[in-house]
Amino acid sequence: MLTELDIDAFMAQKQNFDLLIDARSPDEFDESHIPYAHNYFALSNEEHEEVGTLYKQVSRNDAKVLGASYICLNAALHIKRIYALHRIGARIGIYCARGGLRSSSLALILSSIGYQVFKLRSGYKSYRNYVLNYLENFPHEHFIVLGGNTGCGKTELLQHLTPSIDLEGLACHMGSSFGHIKGKQPTQKAFENILVEHLSHIDVQEPIFIEGESKRMGTITIPTALHVKMQKGIRVEITAPIEQRVAQILKDYENVDASFFNDAMERITPYIKKSAKEDAIKAFNEGNIHNVAKILLLEYYDKVYKKPVHIHLSIEHTTRSRTIEHLRKIEK
């Protein structure tokens, strides 16, 4: 069975798919894709480029024949892997860039074997339009925004609150000059895709716990509509004793090496006193990471932190259970 669906019907069915296939090339997939899709490519990166060049510069028919021959070879490998994981009759969603030859070819083969195949009309292009439209018009209005100085444990609190959205986790960035410790960030498109995935699974009537962030987190930009709604949410300022904050920082940045540290220190040079910077570097070179964290919290993070004018409530975060209890009362 092969059924072609428009984007709204496809998204309504998505949770029922046993497998979601992205038939685009690995490079296209890595740049961004529908969350939880698996890349069973019709054409590899090299094949995709070769066929595309042939199509534009020589002959469309020659390109189609070459592409079809590559697709058959790749499909032969994919079918064995799919069959090993999914019984005949399983429900498979599939898409390519624009709903053309790549997804159509694989969909036809899989449906002829006996799989229930649902192909996305207009492909990934229609999905991206869906994401952008959702982010401009999403219905959630109620946000409980956790603010406060660095090291107060806001991200850890979010992990124990539902529903919540951890923007730093989705952006793979901790929102500071040292924030890229988590590694490579996703592309803007990938970030938006997973953000919509999270929002779409939250009841629009429920308040969402979220951390107060600036518009940019490293290379990622928070969508305007979400950022505006966050500014209008209930603002809860989280505070914590300095030693507790130091302990949290040591936990968050335990894998900092010399190269990473020195690079980050250079970036914050305009915002920290020369003496404080020198003290932090000296402590780092001596292996006294506790003092490094304390100096940076007091002499850099606290001084650049801009507390909002409107704060609805402040909570001193000493124990997780007590803080979560207070936050739950706000939610109710």
Q: What angle do CA 314, 318, 321 make, to 5 degrees?
A: 95
Q: Which of 186, 185, 193 is nearest to 135 (CA)?
A: 193
CA atoms of 261 and 267, how far apart (whole Å)? 10
Task: Encode pLDDT of 149-164 as tens digits.
Answer: 999 999 999 999 999 9
The CATH class given to the 138-331 domain equals alpha beta
- pTM for the predicted model, two decimal places: 0.93
CA atoms of 169 and 149, how far apart (whole Å)? 18
Domain boundaries, the chain: 2-133, 138-331
CA atoms of 219 and 208, how far apart (whole Å)? 24
Is 96 assigned a catalytic role? yes
* Structure-model confidence comparison of residues 126 and 174, the more confident one: 126
Task: Encode pLDDT of 258-311 as tens digits.
Answer: 998 999 999 999 999 999 999 999 999 999 999 999 999 999 999 999 888 889
Contact 199, 138 (CB under 8 A): yes
Query: What percent of the chain has a predicted confidence (pLDDT) above 70?
Result: 99
Which residue in 72, 96, 152, 172 is the catalytic one? Answer: 96
Superfamily of domain 2-133: Rhodanese-like domain (3.40.250.10)
Q: Which two tokens stand for residue 249?
A: 């920082």
Query: What percent of the chain has a predicted confidence (pLDDT) above 90?
Result: 89
Contact 100, 28 (CB under 8 A): no
Distances (CA, A) of 180 to 162, 169, 264: 26, 11, 9
What residues are paired with 2 via a beta bridge? 117
One fold for 2-133 and 138-331:
no
Task: Encode pLDDT of 135-149 as tens digits.
Answer: 999 999 999 999 999
In DSSP notation, 9-72 reads: HHHHHGGG-SEEEE-S-HHHHHH--STT-EE--SS-HHHHHHHHHHHHHT-HHHHHHHHHHHHH
Q: ω before 163 within 30° of 0 (cis)?
A: yes
Model confidence at 178, pLDDT cuts 50, 70, 90, reads confident
Q: Which of 325, 331, 295 is nearest to 312 (CA)?
A: 331
